[in-house]
Amino acid sequence: MLDALRGAGHTAVAAAHLEEAAALPPQEQVAALGAIRLLGADVLAPAVLTGQVPPAEETVAIAATLDALPPVQPPPAAPPEGAEPAWVRAWIDWSLVTVLTRVDPAAVAPAAPEPPPPPRCEAPTAPRRAPATPHGDGTREGWVPWSVRMGALAPLALPGLDGPVHRAARDGALGLARGATRAVLRRDYPTAARITRWLAWLHAERTELPLDPVPLTEHLALLGGGGRVALDTAIAHRLLGLDTT
């Protein structure tokens, strides 16, 4: 996938993965399907970000994962009423179906899954002594858990996707900048890369930011931290228009 993002490889990531898994035992084949679902819309990020049209076998393979492991309907409630992992999973599923339908309308059934409930909390948009922001029910949450939650939703930070999570990112640029900085200082590079990706997405939208995401992205690329960090950083590079070689 990294080669595809750099324009050096084909974009049939899911199809190649499932072809390799075809010779495995049934349980491992299901795990291979689940691995594609975990990526969400990121499985189509090479096509979205490079402008290449995904081959037919790629969209067919992704549609097969949705048939085998369909999104939960109706979607779970947003936290704190609902379980956060299930809610995050529902949004990532939504991102996959939305992007797939856009790049190949014939690849999935016409009825897309119902979007999950919107985030109940937004990060602070200006410094304050006790950084917190109210939920709709009157409870309060600060920018730290909010930015971590937004990081978990990083697969939604792709061109062409928009919705309540993206509006929360626009309104919470300061909270995202704080969250990315905090994660780097704590050497939590996976979280830093995920949140920085949102900053790169906002930069691509020409949103005014409290910090420059370019040096932050380049710093994370040098630090490494595993395949997921490399993927989020490569996507951030593409969003920022940086050299991806």
Q: What is the predicted pLDDT for the residue at 68?
A: 83
Q: What is the predicted pLDDT for the residue at 243?
A: 67
Alpha carbon distance 242, 183 (integer Å): 22
Q: What is the predicted pLDDT for the residue at 213?
A: 96
Alpha carbon distance 233, 206 (integer Å): 19
Q: Which two tokens stand for residue 202?
A: 């906002």
Alpha carbon distance 143, 100 (integer Å): 32
Q: What is the predicted pLDDT for the residue at 132?
A: 32
Q: Which two tokens stand for residue 92?
A: 């990532």
Q: What is the predicted pLDDT for the residue at 33?
A: 80
Q: What are the mean pLDDT values of the chain's consecutive 10-residue runs (245 residues total)?
A: 64 76 74 84 89 85 86 84 89 91 75 69 39 34 88 95 92 94 95 97 95 95 84 94 70
